[in-house]
């Protein structure tokens, strides 16, 4: 099962760090890639690629100029679309239903206002709390539910660096050279 | 049991949105307040206060000029300190131990580099994955574990607005007038 994230409406100035956080969360919590639309911002791709080089992959990161065309193609390819929104149905109510389907998943998260058509295209509109907070947090908790917490122990391939967990302080092991 | 979040090293320009996301996540996922240090940035307080006014409370948000003094006082008051860091012990291994203690909790999250003394002060250094991602996501997943997912249904007091979850689209009920 492939799990992709589509980040809508990225604005280069305002969203740089939040979109980067979304991409790193997508990677760390077990998704296979993040695709973003809005402003073309190569610095996001460079930042995330740098993390992949050092901490391992595989993970896809790319800018999508025309997300409507891209999304239609993904739907034709059999991806099940979910949209994370505070207005949707609570994740606790829908997650079992979502997990039963073994289809590839496309998770949409917005920056500011999400076009109304996204609510229609999505098979599931899912809320992570009914409160305003953060698409970064919503994505993390959704992926954590989807993968039953197992993603927390995910191993990445060909990392340069690996953390050895400590009670105090930091220990990083250099495992590969690039 | 009180649960507070301490956000270290806020920088007004770079961290505005991420710190705001941290505060909104703290509120939405059941913490009682977020306190931040670093640059004095009243716009964070205004943004979060605006959310509390519209979506309900209670929730504390404040700037702390001297976090070392403040933290020592909290420790004296009996708060158990945890520090979320990718270098710490995996949340799945420590969360049951943390939950058994009914002490008040103080959760520290950093912006950029966290001073080494924080690793020493913390009773638990906790990692949410051993990968670089986002303090926003780490905080959300940690609180979700701490509250067993029950925080997702938390009701807030005297909200002006309440969301009625929908399969499609948005429905917001106005329940109070300020």
β-bridge partners, A33 = A4, A60
Segments forming the whole domain that contains residue A19: 3-151
Q: Is residue A110 part of a domain?
A: yes
pLDDT tens for each residue of A67-109: 999 999 999 999 999 999 999 999 999 999 999 999 999 999 9
Chain A partners of B144 at a C-beta cutoff of 8 Å?
Answer: 141, 144
Preferred mutation among A165, A169, A172 to probe B, highest tally of B CBs within 10 A:
A165
**Count of domains in chain A?**
1
List of residues 6+ apart from B39 with CB closer than 8 A: B10, B11, B12
pLDDT tens for each residue of A18-57: 999 999 999 999 999 999 999 999 999 999 999 999 999 9
Instruction: Say how far apart CA A2 and CA A23 lie, in whole Å.
Output: 16
pLDDT at B129: 97
β-bridge partners, B83 = B108, B125
CA dihedral defined by A62, A65, A69, A70, rounded to 10 degrees?
A: 0
Handedness of CA B18, B20, B24, B27 (dihedral sign): positive
Q: Is residue A86 part of a domain?
A: yes
- N-to-C CA span, chain A: 30
- Tally C-beta pairs within 8 A across A and B: 166
pLDDT tens for each residue of B128-174: 999 999 999 999 999 999 999 999 999 999 999 999 999 999 999 99
ipTM over 0.95 threshold = yes
Query: B137 to chain A, minimum CA–CA distance in Å?
Result: 5
**Lookup result for tokens 């702390």:** B64
Inter-chain CB proximity B86 and A14 less than 8 Å: no
Q: Is residue A93 part of a domain?
A: yes
Cβ-contact A58, A32 below 8 angstroms:
yes
Inter-chain CB proximity A149 and B87 less than 8 Å: no
Across B62-70, average pLDDT: 97
Give the pairing of strands A105-109 and A3-10: parallel
CATH assignment at residue A76:
3.40.1280.10
Cβ-contact B89, B128 below 8 angstroms:
no
For residue A178, pLDDT beyond 60 = no
Query: A44 to chain B, minimum CA–CA distance in Å?
Result: 14
List of residues 6+ apart from B153 with CB closer than 8 A: A90, A92
List of residues 6+ apart from A64 with CB closer than 8 A: A6, A35, A36, A37, A70
Instruction: Please report how many Cα atoms fall inside a 13 Å half-sphere around the Cα of residue A166, on the Cβ side.
Output: 15
In this prediction, what percent of chain B has a pLDDT beyond 70? 99
Residue B131 has its nearest CB partner, among A17, A55, A90, at A55
Handedness of CA A8, A131, A84, B131 (dihedral sign): positive
């Amino acid at each position: 099962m492939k799990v992709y994230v589509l980040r809508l409406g990225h604005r280069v100035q305002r969203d740089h760090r939040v979109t980067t956080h979304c991409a790193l969360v997508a990677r760390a919590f077990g998704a296979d890639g993040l695709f973003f639309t809005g402003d073309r911002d190569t610095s996001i791709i460079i930042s995330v690629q740098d993390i992949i080089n050092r901490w391992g992959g595989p993970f896809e990161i790319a800018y999508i100029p025309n997300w409507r065309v891209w999304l239609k193609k993904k739907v034709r390819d059999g991806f099940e679309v979910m949209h994370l929104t505070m207005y949707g149905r609570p994740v606790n109510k829908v997650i079992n239903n979502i997990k039963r389907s073994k289809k590839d998943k496309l998770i949409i998260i917005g920056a500011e206002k999400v076009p109304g058509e996204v609510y229609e295209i999505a098979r599931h509109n899912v809320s992570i709390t009914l409160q305003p907070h953060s698409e970064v947090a919503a994505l993390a908790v959704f992926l954590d539910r989807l993968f039953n917490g197992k993603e927390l122990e995910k191993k990445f391939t060909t990392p340069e660096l690996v953390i050895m967990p400590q009670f105090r302080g930091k220990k990083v092991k250099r495992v590969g050279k690039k």
